[in-house]
Amino acid sequence: MSKRKTQRKIITPNAKEKHDSAQKKDLSSHRHFLILLISLFLIVVTLAAFEQLRNHAFINLDDDVYITKNRQVQSGLTLEGVSWAFTTMHAGNWHPLTWLSLMLDCQLYGLNPSGHHLTNLVFHIVNTLLLFLVLERMTGALWRSGFVAALFALHPLHVESVAWVAERKDVLSTFFWMLTMWTYVHYVERRGFNRYLPVLLFFTLGLLSKPMLVTLPFALLLFDYWPLGRLQFGQLSGDPKSHTSKSMNPGDQKSVAFRLVREKAPFFALCAVSSVLTILAQQKGGAVIPLEHYPLEGRIANALVSYVTYIEKMVWPRGLAVFYPYQEMLPIWRVVGSGLFLVCVSLLVIRAARKLPCLVVGWFWYVGTLIPVIGLVQVGVQAMADRYTYVPLIGLFIMIAWSAPDIWVGWRYRRVGLSISVGLLLLLLMIVTKLQVKHWQSGVKLFEHSLDVTSNNFVIHNNLGAALAEQGKIQEAMAHYTEALRIKPDLVQAHNNLGGVLAEQGKIQEAMAHFAEALRIKPDYAEAHNNLGGALAGQGKIQEAMAHYTEALRIKPDYAKAHINLGLAYLMIGNKSSALEEYKILEKINPDLANVLYHKIFE
C-alpha cells in the first residue's frame, strides 16, 4: 500500500498580495452594494410616508406671501425677478435662492401645488441620502449612518418642513448644508485650495437659502473633534480610520484648535454678513418683537422649555401643530426643571467625552444649531416650531445610533433584537408621519387639527377664519375671528378680516369700526387703510376714501388693490388723467387688475 505525499501549496509573496487585493475588492464591492441597497430603502420609505403630498393644496399661512399672492414669484425666472430676489427683504427674510427656487417652480408648474410639493419632497429625499453618505464616509459605520438617515427621513417633526411649500427654505438650505459637509470631508482627506473652495461655495449658497446655516462652521468644528479626529483633547482614538491613540500636550492642543478655527475664518465672516442682512430684513419686515413686549427673562424661560419640549416631541411625537402660541408666564417648575435637565445632560456628555465622543458631538450639535431659532431674538409670536428641528435633531439621532447598540452588548440575540427593534421603530414613525402629512391636505384641515392640540391659539383661529371665508362659510369665519379677538383683542389681522366679512354683509358701520380699531393699534397697516377707504367710498365719501388709499400706497407702494381703488376713485371725481397714471403703475405690478382699470377708464 503506497503512501501519497501531501502536496503543500506554497503561497508566494506576490500571490498573497494578489489574494489580499482580490479580497479587498470583494469587500469593497459588497459594501458598495449595501450602500446602494440602504439608499434605495431610504428612498422607498420616504416616498411611502409622504406620497399624499401630491394631492395637497397651498395653505393660507405664508404660502400666499411666498407664492399664491406674490406676482414676482408667479412671473417665473425673469431678469427682473432675479434682481428682485437679491434685493428684496420681503416677508422679513433675505434668502434670494429660496425665491429663485420658488420662481423656477412657478415657471415649471404654474400654481399647481402638486409640483411645488414634489420639489420639497425631492429635496427631502436628497437630504436624507446625503446625510447617510456623509456619515458613512466620516465614520465607516454603515448601518448606524443608515439608521440616522432613516430617522431624519421619517420623523413626524420633519413633516412641517416638507409638507409646507413656504418652508422651501428649510429643505433647500439643508441641501447645501449636506453638500457643505460632503465636500468638507473630501477637503479633510486631502487638504488643498481646490478642495476648500467647493466647501465655501456650498456654504455660501446655503446662507443665500436660509440664514440658519450660521451655525454650520461650529458643527464642522464638532466633526473635527469626532469622527474626523482632527481635534484631540487628552487621549482620544476617535478617528474611525485610525487605530492609534495620540497624546497631545496642552500647547499642541491649543495650536491645533487655533488652526482649525482659523481655517474657518471665511465661514465666520460670511456668517457675520448674513446675520447683519437677516437682522435688517427682520426689522424692516417688523418681524422682530421688541423686549418691552417679550422681556428677556421670559425669552430665556421659553428657550429652556422649548429645548426640552423638542426632545419630548422627538421621543413621543404627539400634539404637533403648525403654530404654538407664546406663553408669557410659564410654570416656574417647568422652567427650572428644563434648565436643570439641560445642565445635567451637558455635564454627563462632557464627562463621557473620552469614551463616547459621539455624545458630545450629538448633544452640542442639537443645542448649538437651535440657538438662532430658540427665541432669544424673538421673531414672530410663536413659542417654538416643528420646522426648527429639521437639522438640530440630527445631533440627537447620532447620539441614539452610536450609543443605543451598547445596551445590547453581551446579549446572545443582539443582532436579531436590534434588527427587530429598528424595524418596528421605523414602521411606527412612518405610520405617524403619514397621519401627520394627512393634516396638511388643506388650510382648513391643518388649522382645525392645530386648534385640537393647542389652546388660546389666536393666530390659527384668525387663519382658519380666512380659509373658511374663502370657501364662503362666512358665519363660521366670523366665529373664529371673534374668538381670535377674545384671546388677543389687539390682533390687527383679525380686526381687518372681521371688518371685511361684515362689509360684505352690508354692515358697513360695524366693519368701519373694526378697520378703525386696526389702524388705532397699527397706524401703518396698509390693508386696513385700503379696506376703510373702500367702506368710505361705498358711502360716497370719495375724498376721505382717497386719503386712505394714498396712505396705503405710501406704506406699501406695490399694493395693487390700493392702486386700482385709487384709480377708480379718480374716475368717480372725473379725473381721468390721474386714473391713467394709476393704470400705468398697476400694469407693472398686476396686469390683470390693470386691464380692469383700463376698461373702466375708456368704457
Strands 382-384 and 246-247: unpaired
Helices 265-284 and 216-225, interaxial angle, to 10°?
Answer: 150
pLDDT digits (tens, 9 = 90+) for 118-171: 999 999 999 999 999 999 999 999 999 999 999 999 999 999 999 999 999 999
The set of cell numbers assigned to 452 is 385640537
**521, 492 in Cβ contact below 8 A?**
yes
For range 63-73, the mean pLDDT: 93
Per-residue cell: 173: 438650505
Cα 349 from chain centre: 27
Q: Is 332 exposed, middle or buried (0-12, 13-18, 19+ CB in 10 A)?
A: exposed
Q: Among residues 490, 449, 310, which one has the least CA distance to residue 385? A: 310
The residues with which 325 forms a beta bridge, in sequence order, are: 382
| C-alpha to C-alpha distance for 580 and 592, rounded to whole angstroms | 15
Q: What is the pLDDT of residue 111?
A: 96
pLDDT tier for residue 407 given thresholds of 50, 70 and 90: confident
Given this model, what pLDDT does residue 19 score? 53
* C-alpha–C-alpha distance, residues 362 and 395, integer Å: 4
Q: Residue 232 pLDDT > 80, yes or no?
A: no
The pLDDT score that the predictor gives to residue 327 is 86
Q: What is the pLDDT of residue 14?
A: 63
The pLDDT tens digits of the residues spanning 483-526 come to 999 999 999 999 999 999 999 999 999 999 999 999 999 999 99
What band does 2 get if pLDDT is binned at 50, 70 and 90?
A: very low
pLDDT tens per residue across span 239-278: 444 433 455 566 667 788 899 999 999 999 999 999 998 8
Hey, what's the cell of 433? 408621519
The vertex-301 CA angle with 485 and 451, nearest 5°, equals 35
Domain boundaries, the chain: 27-238+247-406+413-439
Please give the sequence-ordered ranges of beta strands (E in DSSP) within 16-117, or none if there are none. none
Q: What are phi and psi of 384, to 5 degrees?
A: -165, 175
Q: Which residue, among 159, 264, 183, has the nearest Cα to 221 in the 3D structure?
A: 264
Question: Can you tell me the mean pLDDT for 548-553?
Answer: 96
CA angle 473, 477, 481 (to 5 degrees): 170
Angle of the 576-589 helix axis to the 591-602 helix axis, nearest 10 = 160
Cα–Cα distance for residue pair 71/67, rounded to 1 Å: 8
- Flag whether pLDDT at 10 surpasses 70: no
With 60 as the cut, is the pLDDT of residue 427 above it?
yes
Q: Which residues, 6+ apart, have CB-to-CB distance to 41 below 8 Å?
A: 146, 150
Residues constituting the chain: 603
Torsion over CA of 436, 438, 440 and 446, rounded to 10 degrees? -80
Report the C-alpha gap between 120 and 67 in whole angstroms: 14
Tell me the average pLDDT of the chain: 90
The pLDDT value given to residue 390? 98
Decide if pLDDT at 282 tops 80: no
Amino acid at 178: M
pLDDT of res. 558:
87
Would you state the pLDDT for residue 248? 59
Q: What pLDDT does residue 241 have?
A: 46
Q: Confirm if 393 and 243 have CB atoms less than 8 A apart.
A: no
Residue 490 φ/ψ, nearest 5 degrees: -100, 20
Residue 19: its H or E element: helix 13-50
In percent, the amount of the chain with pLDDT more than 70 equals 91
- At residue 577's C-alpha, the angle toward residues 573 and 583, to 5°, is 100
> Which of the two residues, 468 and 231, has the higher pLDDT score?
468
Q: Which of 478, 481, 442, 476 is nearest to 460 (CA)?
A: 481
Residue 114: what residue type? S
What are the cell numbers at 195? Answer: 478642495
Q: Classify residue 294 as exposed, middle or buried by CB count within 10 Å of its CB (0-12, 13-18, 19+).
A: middle
Q: How far is CA 189 from CA 183, 282, 362, in A?
A: 10, 39, 22
Residue 583 is predicted with a pLDDT of: 86
pLDDT at 247: 54
- Is residue 345 within 8 A of residue 360, CB to CB? The reply is no
Distance (Å, rounded) from C-alpha 217 to C-alpha 215?
6
Inter-residue contact 444 to 467 (CB < 8 Å): yes
| β-pair type (235-236, 382-384) | unpaired
Residue 206 has pLDDT above 70, yes or no: yes
What would the grid cell of residue 461 be?
383661529
C-alpha cell at 480: 373664529
Number of Cβ atoms within 10 Å of the Cβ of 28: 10
Kindly tell me if the per-residue pLDDT of 578 is higher than 80: yes
Q: How many CB atoms lie within 10 A of CB 37?
A: 11
